[in-house]
Structure 1
């Protein structure tokens, strides 16, 4: 049994109240300390009282932390054992868990460079810069403590908050019960690398404690469903990361055969569990041949235990998988199933199930159905016409427009509810340091202040 203790200003803290973490078969594998709201409040108060480390120390410690995260023992487990545990509990294919965990290390290693594109060109980082004598903008934090309510669908969600450390924030992380291991390993790595206990804390807690983290911190990043997005929509101190509802649009002049690989990989890569996986494919014309080709590719994916190197599909407890299939069946009423809800659950015989891909074709681009996003390779395919415009593409984290129509790309970039626009032979999950995920995180963390001095 692995014990995941809270990591507060005073070091490790094992509480009397603990959650048992089980893997996808229902086997207990870890106990997670659950801290009360009072402990949360006192911890964040201690973080606020600690001044940021000097910039150079923060930058060097982040580079060291990335190496420690990938190479050192943490909780008695090395990197490969940690990855295996993530795969076993979260149901991620082990290759996806490994790649995502290595992505966390790369994000921490590159955190300094990642904030640079977000800084306004007219702003300086330090008021002592000589340019402030002539009048300049200073890039300043909007607070001292950032709270992070992490999701459990992938280790990768923990890569971005290291940018807040670059900027001098102290960070309080509330991990997901579904995958509490990455945050624990990363906070330990940061401390081993030279960050103080106050700089990054690990606060597993219940709903009351979660609310206290947001209330006590200056700013918060929160992951969740549409209900979470709606709850904090009017709160300028909370940045929400909700459903991706990522889409691909192909216009009639394009030969979709040439893009079939990128379409299928956008749907099924990362186990289909990421917010950047394609949820819908729209085609200008009759999409039947395209839908059949996508289904033919996806049906070849074999359901395997997540621990296998060839595994592609996500795993859930059997009862949970059946609930997902039932929900899909209800949402798919009226759609034509090419790979329907009735074949989604692949019982692995140990209390868990793989989620086979689902492909449904719609008669028209119904917005509600197109935006139904599930955490496995599940795609809706629909016809699209110029008369439909960008309406069916709204509320999308990524739209890949496979088109030569520059006015259409202009319209997508002008649409406020579309975060990222790709054009052509690019995975919807493509990332790079200079490409914001849903805006730069620093856009939320920082502001400019005018300054002039003698």
Structure 2
């Protein structure tokens, strides 16, 4: 396979099972945003999933002493090596073409993912309670203390394909001793395939980490067969698994920005626009709503003016900054937006967001709408492109209007308000003073620490 940016002919993406690669005779087609076939993905049946999970359960954990070296080597291989026959530039080009994510975003994600991989154990350790030792050999462990222990042995990921960065988190489970099964998105399977293959090449055994592409029906076998599972999806996925303690649903982020009257939003316009449009506006950490104490119209107008200047280009163009999808899907999203936005004031996108590229695909252009109050139903609508709702906010609205938020960036000098935002259980993260909603760093919780879901503290008394 070539390492150049352009790849000729479809790429074969095999399942990576406990006994090595597995290729089906009738693979599933992976198409780019124009509908052209670019890869053939081997989908495994339920019986294969069951056998793979059994092998994971019987395997030993990656030795703790080897984890950092393995992760460091895998991160380097992922970012620079030829993995599965694909050089890094060819890989990035395919991700951009299939997911519609701008190439510059994919390239930045490659570098960031390598960094997160190398620091996965350190990041996982950040969630360990100070009173708990890492194991019986922890020198800080005395008589009558606690040990941090896994809640199970096998961890599964039912991944999404909206952004390569979703695959950074599950590395922490591997670092904590879980054996891991990853179900890639059929929309963008290249990132998890490359990452799993890079970890295998670095020394993680095939029976410790597997890649299991499946259809939607077989995904249930994976979810129910693992001890702990992260599942990505929309509101319906969150509702389906809300009562299952073994499943951690990752739904819409509905990230927000709050601007209070003591702050001049003009000084933070770059941050506000970036929060909406960075990463192509496709990530759960992109802002979908901005609340303004006072008149929201001037801010909405300024944001719309900035977003209107963004060019509409194919995703693999190095100048592209907006997401692209198949034309029929773009039209469906445009129709949905028009329906949802009824009764709002359109500053941008009111005449449509579809920019037809003429090859069966379309750019999703930005949209900015002003709503009448802080309780408007539109504020819960999250779309996979830069689409933001701008709303008035008052102290009487309080934190209730800001609930169900992955990231809230607060442009305010009001310490009491910030403390109230931190106290609100449904706001996962609070950034203050100009930090964009998309800011992330290794070791900093995304939606709490993943280890909160994977681990528990056990009391230990006595000595061996």
Q: Residue 130 of structure 1: CA displacement?
A: 4.8
Other-structure match for 2:4: none
Other-structure match for 1:374: 383
The answer on whether the counterparts of 2:18 and 2:210 sit within 8 Å (CA) in structure 1 is yes
- The counterpart of 1:342, out of the listed 337, 351, 372, is 351
Q: Residue 410 of structure 1: CA displacement?
A: 1.2
Residues 1:236 and 2:257 aligned together: no
Rounded to whole Å, the distance in 2 between the matches of 1:310 and 1:249 is 31
* SS of residue paired to 2:436: coil
Rounded to whole Å, the distance in 1 between the matches of 2:250 and 2:111 is 22
Rounded to whole Å, the distance in 1 between the matches of 2:76 and 2:105 is 20
Residues 1:254 and 2:254 aligned together: no
Other-structure match for 1:97: 106
Distance 1:293 1:124, change over 3 A: same
Rounded to whole Å, the distance in 2 between the matches of 1:179 and 1:322 is 21
Deviation per residue, 1:324-348 (Å, 9 max, x gap): 0000000000001111242310011
Rounded to whole Å, the distance in 2 between the matches of 1:112 and 1:51 is 17
Q: Residue 408 of structure 1: CA displacement?
A: 1.1
Residues 1:431 and 2:412 aligned together: no
Rounded to whole Å, the distance in 1 between the matches of 2:217 and 2:360 is 32
The answer on whether the counterparts of 2:79 and 2:114 sit within 8 Å (CA) in structure 1 is yes
Other-structure match for 1:306: 315
Other-structure match for 2:171: 162
Other-structure match for 1:30: 39
Rounded to whole Å, the distance in 1 between the matches of 2:68 and 2:218 is 31
Matches within 5 A, 1:396-411: 396-411=405-420
Distance 1:367 1:201, change over 3 A: farther
Rounded to whole Å, the distance in 1 between the matches of 2:35 and 2:438 is 31
Other-structure match for 2:327: 318
* SS of residue paired to 1:153: coil
Other-structure match for 1:109: 118
Rounded to whole Å, the distance in 1 between the matches of 2:350 and 2:187 is 24
Q: Residue 40 of structure 1: CA displacement?
A: 0.2
Q: Which runs of 5+ in 1 are unaligned?
A: none
Rounded to whole Å, the distance in 2 between the matches of 1:369 and 1:351 is 30
TM-score normalized by the length of structure 1: 0.98
The answer on whether the counterparts of 1:326 and 1:341 sit within 8 Å (CA) in structure 2 is no
* RMSD of aligned Cα (Å): 1.0
The answer on whether the counterparts of 2:287 and 2:388 sit within 8 Å (CA) in structure 1 is yes
* SS of residue paired to 1:311: coil
Deviation per residue, 1:246-304 (Å, 9 max, x gap): 00010112111101110001001000000000000010111111111111111011111
- The counterpart of 1:12, out of the listed 1, 21, 27, is 21
Residues 1:208 and 2:224 aligned together: no
Other-structure match for 1:43: 52
Other-structure match for 2:235: 226
Rounded to whole Å, the distance in 2 between the matches of 1:261 and 1:71 is 32
- The counterpart of 1:267, out of the listed 264, 276, 280, is 276
* SS of residue paired to 1:307: coil
Q: Which runs of 5+ in 2 are unaligned?
A: 1-9
Rounded to whole Å, the distance in 2 between the matches of 1:213 and 1:60 is 29
Rounded to whole Å, the distance in 2 between the matches of 1:368 and 1:218 is 37
The answer on whether the counterparts of 1:272 and 1:377 sit within 8 Å (CA) in structure 2 is yes
- The counterpart of 2:91, out of the listed 82, 95, 104, is 82
* SS of residue paired to 1:118: coil
Residues 1:73 and 2:78 aligned together: no
Give the stretch that moved more between structures: 65-74 or 350-359.
65-74
The answer on whether the counterparts of 1:23 and 1:89 sit within 8 Å (CA) in structure 2 is yes
- The counterpart of 1:197, out of the listed 182, 193, 206, is 206
Rounded to whole Å, the distance in 2 between the matches of 1:435 and 1:403 is 22
Other-structure match for 2:431: 422
* SS of residue paired to 2:126: helix
TM-score normalized by the length of structure 2: 0.96
Aligned residues: 454
The answer on whether the counterparts of 1:248 and 1:401 sit within 8 Å (CA) in structure 2 is yes
